[in-house]
Structure 1
Amino acid sequence: MNNPENASITEQELREKINQVFSIYDIQHADGNIYFFGTPKEDIKIIFQKLWPLLSEKGFQFTIKYDLGEHILVASPLLPAKERLWINYVLAIATIFTTMIVGSLLFGGHPDISAADIMKGLPFTIAIMAVLGSHEAGHYIVAKKHGMQTSLPYFIPFPNMIGTMGAVIKHRGPIPNRKALFDVGISGPLIGLIVSVIVTIIGLLQPQLPQATQGLKIELGTPLLFELINRIIPTGDGMMMHPIAFAGWVGMLVTALNLIPAGQLDGGHVLRAMIGEKAKEASRVIPFILISLGFYVTYVLDRDGFIWVLWGIFLSFFAAAGHPKPLDDDIPLGKGRMALGVITFILGLLSFTLVPFQMG
């Protein structure tokens, strides 16, 4: 049962915030909404920019309408979107299963012959789910901190070399300001990369496995960050990369791909927050750079550069869709966030490799 005293306190708090930009002369209630009648002190766009983050902190969304000669600001409870959580759970369980099959193969198991061998892949599953899950958890936690509506991660099971296509979360509603855009965009890659480094170190410390002599061989290109760790913790010659270290390698590749500063990738969000509308130019140019890089690697270096062609085509559609504009696009990030953005892009370069994988 609602407490009338708490309701009056909330209304008073809203009134104080709204009165800063919207001079209120009457308040009415209907259907759980609060109607503030008044006169705008500033442009409606500015009112949205200033009030949205303040009201969302109190659990309200709002609209402003002009009806019968009066401006009305309608504050409505910000109800969480109805999530079909069973989908998240089913996809997560399916991804655990598909990654365990891949992990079993990496550890030399034969899950096609013995179902019990699937359990051999559990260490790889734990490592890869930690890498991918931490990335999305970073986005989720920071988005919630900024009062944004976002879903739990959707893991994507897929029969490929790691057993998954990663994970995604869905954001709903507007982005409050550039700081929120920056924080949400940068949190996933940074947290995911930290976990990837930890997983890589754990993997390199494990007893190494002998190189497979039969079957499909895949030559992995290691980024500079992985090489630096590998120099501190060297592996034996003729040994294959340990599956747990491979999960760390995957995390670095995911970081590099996501930090490409284009479209609605994490790097696109971060760059948009850092330089504003100028980021559109990068979103237009980078897909062509990637496609050109792919052709260069394929036809000049005679290596497998298809991933960059595919990623460039993929990004060209994202770039065409544009980037959502924060409600408050004028608040500067500050020197701290700008420096962190530059450092993060450098880490993305350290996680990059020209030829991630080559079929043997």
Structure 2
Amino acid sequence: MNQPYLSPFNPGDFERSTPIFLTPEAYEEPPPRDITFGRVLWHLFLLGLTAITTTLIPTLLLFGWNLSSGMMFSFTLLCILGAHEMGHYLACRLYQVRATLPYFIPAPLGVGTFGAFIKIKAPIPNKRALFDIGIAGPLAGFVFVIPAAIAGLYFASPATGTASGDGISFHDPLLFLAIAKLLRVPHDIMLNPIWFAAWVGCLVTSLNLLPVGQLDGGHVVYATLGARWHWLIARMIYVGVIALTVASYFYNGWMGWIVYVVILTIMLRVGHPRVMDEVEPLGTSRKIVALIGLLVFLLCFMPAPVTF
């Protein structure tokens, strides 16, 4: 997930401005100072703190005080989240868009993290850049989710008769169901750290690919279909998520979709900034990649991720 530049570009501002004359030297901008030693230390500190929380909290809550399981979970999850954010960051570097290194957010509950993000600190030049920056994160993270899911399912132990019916049930996305079928994995398995990290990675990927606001999916839809369709699809998805929240509550008592509703409400209020060049066409190849992004969303999406 990335936090874009929040000030929309308005071409009319240039038309209303007073003409000025620039020498060739005036066109040379000073090099950005987004990466300094102190800032790198801050990013590393947050990464280290998140590594600790994603190790200790799941160890205590999920893995029966097994520290090695907590460490495997933390390493796998941070690789997935890190790949996602570095995908955004490297795409920004490719287009010379100023952006920070990934910020990892530790959390004192749940899986030990609220995720990660980068902050984009300059306008995005055109729709191609917006598309590439938006889609690079989910695709990079998904590349790491696949081997983690395969390893987690391959080494999974079948659930015992007692364990399979008690406690929390984590429901599989289509990706896991397909891999389990290929590997002939039993339907009910015991929770293991690599599987669970891949599961969380799928959840994060599907959330980010929702075509709303400034989520990654919102960037892709804006770049592919334009501002009007972005506005319309975002509100259709918002209504759909509210309906899914109500249906999930009456079907299995799960209210986790409320978190999605809150996030999407914020995203709709913020809106999506315009890019500097709204006219440049996206091209056929990127539209094909957009369909691949839709496939990734369908493979990762879970209507009811958890039941009790």
Equivalent residue of 1:326, what SS? coil
Q: Percent identity at matched positions?
A: 34
1:329-352 Cα deviation digits (max 9, x unpaired): 111111110111022112202211
- AA in 1 matched with 2:171: G
State yes or no: 1:167 paired with 2:120. no
Aligned to 1:297: 248
Which structure has greater helix proportion? 2
- Contact kept in structure 1, 2:212 and 2:237, CA below 8 Å: yes
Question: What is the Cα deviation at residue 46 of structure 1?
Answer: 9.7
How far, CA to CA, are the matches of 1:82 and 1:348 in structure 2?
32
Structure 1 gaps of 5+ residues are 1-43, 49-63, 111-116
- AA in 1 matched with 2:33: P
The one of 323, 328, 346 equivalent to 2:295 is 346
**Shift in CA distance, 294/227, structure 1 to aligned 2, threshold 3 Å:** same
How far, CA to CA, are the matches of 1:289 and 1:94 in structure 2?
36
- AA in 1 matched with 2:180: N
State yes or no: 1:77 paired with 2:27. no
Question: What is the Cα deviation at residue 163 of structure 1?
Answer: 1.6
How far, CA to CA, are the matches of 2:80 and 2:171 in structure 1?
19
- AA in 1 matched with 2:172: T
Higher relative contact order (CA 8 A, sep 6+): 2
What is the TM-score with the length of structure 2 in the denominator? Answer: 0.85
For these two proteins, the number of residue pairs brought into alignment is 291
Question: What is the Cα deviation at residue 210 of structure 1?
Answer: 5.5
The one of 76, 97, 104 equivalent to 1:127 is 76
How far, CA to CA, are the matches of 2:281 and 2:292 in structure 1?
18
Equivalent residue of 2:105, what SS? strand
Question: What is the Cα deviation at residue 284 of structure 1?
Answer: 2.9
How far, CA to CA, are the matches of 1:341 and 1:224 in structure 2?
19
**Shift in CA distance, 277/233, structure 1 to aligned 2, threshold 3 Å:** same
**What aligned pairs does 1:137-216 form with structure 2 within 5 A after superposition?**
137-206=86-155, 208=157, 213=163
Question: What is the Cα deviation at residue 308 of structure 1?
Answer: 2.1
**Shift in CA distance, 340/319, structure 1 to aligned 2, threshold 3 Å:** same
Structure 2 gaps of 5+ residues are 1-9
Equivalent residue of 1:318, what SS? helix
- AA in 1 matched with 2:167: K
How far, CA to CA, are the matches of 1:231 and 1:273 in structure 2?
36
How far, CA to CA, are the matches of 2:232 and 2:127 in structure 1?
18
The structure that has the greater radius of gyration is 1
The one of 56, 61, 77 equivalent to 1:101 is 56
Aligned to 1:239: 189
Question: What is the Cα deviation at residue 314 of structure 1?
Answer: 1.9
Which structure has greater strand proportion? 1
- Contact kept in structure 1, 2:158 and 2:188, CA below 8 Å: no
What is the TM-score with the length of structure 1 in the denominator? Answer: 0.74
Question: What is the Cα deviation at residue 236 of structure 1?
Answer: 4.4
- Contact kept in structure 2, 1:204 and 1:234, CA below 8 Å: no
- Contact kept in structure 1, 2:158 and 2:186, CA below 8 Å: no
1:273-318 Cα deviation digits (max 9, x unpaired): 001112112223322221121012212x2341x2223212321221
Equivalent residue of 2:18, what SS? strand
- Contact kept in structure 2, 1:221 and 1:354, CA below 8 Å: no
